[in-house]
Chain A
Amino acid sequence: MITAIFKREFASYFRTPLAYVILAVFLLLASGCCFFIGRFFESNTASLEPFFVFLPWLFLFLVPAVGMRLWAEERRGGTLELLFTLPITPVQAVLGKFLAGWAFLALAVALTFPLALTVAYLGSPDWGVIVGSYAGGILLSGTCLAIASLMSALTKNQVIAFVLGFAVCLGFVLVGFSLLSDLLNGWGLPVALVDAIANFGFIPHYESITRGLIDLRSVVYFLSLTGFALFLNVVALER
């Protein structure tokens, strides 16, 4: 039954121009960031770091755009009633839809493979790091999507769902960002506390994975945050 929900949801991205618009814009921005802002060529190293540094920021737009429709559209169209009078549990519905969105995001991230090919053509990159970075990116996109899906379940307005999803994900990105930590340190907060706060953010965990060391604690962090957001998603739908 999860499969049926998954298939319908995944296919529905491609029934409207939405999927193609999102994919095109994401791939443009991704390569733009990598080559122009990330100074890919000037860095003179065969690595995709300039791309993966920007990925969480791109996700701020990409993921809420993918996740905003998941529940808001069903509420608006009245199909929520249809869905929840079919013999499925809310958990199955939430998982089916989440996995469909995640598969779509994984597809978007995977379509940046020409970047990897470019690096391989120009030099000899560390494939372990690149594969690890892709895994980290897809993991992070899942966590962002679970948050975006939760926000979508709270409203029937997709724009509100997008803005809320963006804001919450931005919060999680900023919390782990060194700028904020420096700021808090500057205010005289104890270093231990600042570190503890920073540990709730995406970036330290994401960086630890994209550095090529798959740190189990970071994987657990992303998975448990995803699980918790999906749990709240079920609760929000059950009212």
Chain B
Amino acid sequence: MIEVQNLRKDFGPTHAVDGVSFRVNRGEILGFLGPNGAGKSTTMKMITGFLPPTAGTARVDGLDVRVDPVGVKRRIGYLPESSPSYPEMTVDEFLGFIAAVRFPGDAAAQAGAVERALGLCFLGDVRRQPIETLSKGYKQRVGFAQAVLHNPPVLVLDEPTDGLDPNQKREVRRIIAGMAQEKAIILSTHILEEVEALCTRVIIIARGRVVCDETPAALRARHPEGRLDEVFRELTLGPAAA
């Protein structure tokens, strides 16, 4: 479903993303790990068509993001980091706007999609509240609802559980796991346990490069005592630091 080939992004002299390649198939949840500034968000921004790549490309459902960005965007649901939304709109108005862009001219489909997303993300009781009055957990769920509104085959989630309390994290993970079978999902996170609990595969990215691409079990097996944080440290800082 998602095919990333040799993706590169330079910001001036720095290589933010330096030749990243991987594939994600339907039914897979790919965990994207890496230190801050490793290039996770930049890679996601290129896959979703927000940033143009310096070189290489990403294909979603066979469509090249450089050739058909709108086609790719139709197939992706994207939750940007810290889930931005229009604070003065109510949840209903905001999701209604997204639905109007996703299903232009089809009022029935728009209403149906909004109701479905509200139900899926348990937003029913705050639907008439302005987003700026909501707690962080609710805001995150609004961002999530926006991403899954059109039931896309591909989900790209940039730190979907960031800033949530443990109960909310669990809730969001449950929603993601519930959708996994018919979708290809990429999610980035800092929480190593989350990867184990949720993902079918892990990619660790450091200094713009993929340093590891395997199952969470294989990743844990790299350390004699199975300590994920040590494996992460070793892979991202190099063996000398371990």
A81 near B73 (CB under 8 angstroms)? Answer: no
Structural contact, B101 and A81, CB atoms closer than 8 A: no
Residues of B in contact (CB 8 Å), total: 28
- From DSSP, what is the main secondary structure of chain A's interface residues? helix
By the criterion CB–CB under 8 Å, are B48 and A85 in contact? yes
The reply to whether B76 and A85 form a contact with Cβ atoms under 8 Å apart is yes
Q: How many A-B residue pairs have CB under 8 A?
A: 66
Quick check: A1 and B73 within 8 Å, CB to CB? no
CB of A77 within 8 A of CB of B146, answer no
Residue of A nearest to B72 (CB): A87
B12 at the interface (CB under 8 A from A): no
| C-alpha gap A238/B104 in the complex (Å) | 24
Is B87 interfacial (CB-CB < 8 Å)? yes
Contact B102 A85 (CB under 8 A): no
In the complex, the answer to whether B84 meets A79 with C-beta atoms within 8 Å is yes
Q: Interface code B67-89, partner A: CB below 8 Å = 1, 0 otherwise?
A: 00011011010101110111111
- Say yes or no: A81 contacts B80, CB within 8 Å: yes
Expressed in whole angstroms, the Cα–Cα distance for A3 and B103 within the complex equals 12
A86 with B73, Cβ < 8 A, contacts A12-B88, A81-B80 known: yes
| A84 B49 Cβ-Cβ under 8 A | yes
Task: Enumerate chain A residues within 8 angstroms of B179, measured Cβ to Cβ.
Answer: none
Min CB gap A1→B, angstroms: 5
Asked if B212 CB lies within 8 Å of chain A CBs, one says: no
A4 at the interface (CB under 8 A from B): yes
Which chain B residue shows the least CB distance to A76?
B84
Once the chains bind, are A87 and B86 in contact (CB under 8 Å)?
Answer: no
Chain B residues, CB < 8 A from A84: 49-50
- A8, CB-defined interface residue at 8 Å: yes
The answer to whether A8 touches B97 (Cβ under 8 A) is: yes
Q: CB-CB < 8 A to A81: which residues of B?
A: 45, 50, 80, 84
A88's nearest neighbour on chain B, judged by CB, is B101
In the assembled complex, which residues on chain B have CB atoms less than 8 Å from the CB atom of A7?
Answer: 97, 100
B99, closest chain A residue (CB): A4
**Chain A, 15-30, contact with B by CB distance < 8 Å: what is the 0/1 string?**
1100000000000000
> B198 at interface (Cβ–Cβ under 8 A)?
no
Q: Is the CB of A4 within 8 A of B97?
A: yes
Contact A15 B73 (CB under 8 A): no
Are B80 and A4 interface neighbours, CB within 8 A?
no
**Residue A78 CB within 8 A of the other chain:** yes
Distance to closest chain B CB from A75 (angstroms): 10
> Given A12-B88, A85-B76, does the pair A78, B82 have CB atoms closer than 8 Å?
yes
**Cβ-based interface call for A118 (8 A):** no
Give the nearest-CB partner of A89 in chain B: B70
Contact B80 A85 (CB under 8 A): yes
Nearest-neighbour CB distance to chain A for B227, whole angstroms, equals 35
What sequence of 0s and 1s flags, for each residue 90-122 of chain A, a beta carbon within 8 Å of any chain B beta carbon?
Answer: 000000000000000000000000000000000
Query: B101 near A5 (CB under 8 angstroms)?
Result: yes
B120 contacts the other chain (CB 8 A): no
Beta-carbon contact of B100 and A85 below 8 Å:
no
Q: Does B98 contact A (CB under 8 A)?
A: yes
The one of B50, B73, B88 that contacts A87, using a Cβ cutoff of 8 Å: B73
**Binary CB contact string for chain A from 151 to 182 against chain B (1 if under 8 A, 0 otherwise):** 00000000000000000000000000000000
Selected contact of B86 from candidates A1, A77, A89, CB within 8 Å: A77
* CB contact between A77 and one of B49, B73, B87, B101 (< 8 Å): that residue: B87
* B45→A82 contact, CB < 8 A: no
Contact B101 A4 (CB under 8 A): yes
Q: Which residues of B88-120 have CB atoms within 8 Å of chain A's CB atoms?
A: 88-89, 93, 97-98, 100-102, 104
Name the A residues within 8 Å of B85 (CB-CB): 79, 82
B87 partner residues in chain A, CB cutoff 8 A: 77
Q: Which residues of A contact B (CB under 8 A)?
A: 1, 3-5, 7-8, 11-12, 15-16, 77-79, 81-82, 84-89, 238-239
Q: 9 interchain pairs (CB within 8 A)?
A: A12-B86, A12-B88, A15-B89, A79-B84, A82-B78, A82-B80, A85-B80, A87-B101, A88-B70
* Given A85-B76, A86-B73: 18 more A-B contacts, CB < 8 Å: A4-B100, A7-B100, A8-B86, A12-B86, A15-B89, A77-B84, A77-B86, A78-B84, A81-B45, A81-B80, A82-B80, A82-B84, A82-B85, A85-B48, A85-B78, A87-B71, A87-B74, A87-B102
- Could you tell me which B residues sit within 8 Å of A by CB distance? 45, 48-50, 52, 70-71, 73-74, 76, 78, 80-82, 84-89, 93, 97-98, 100-102, 104, 146
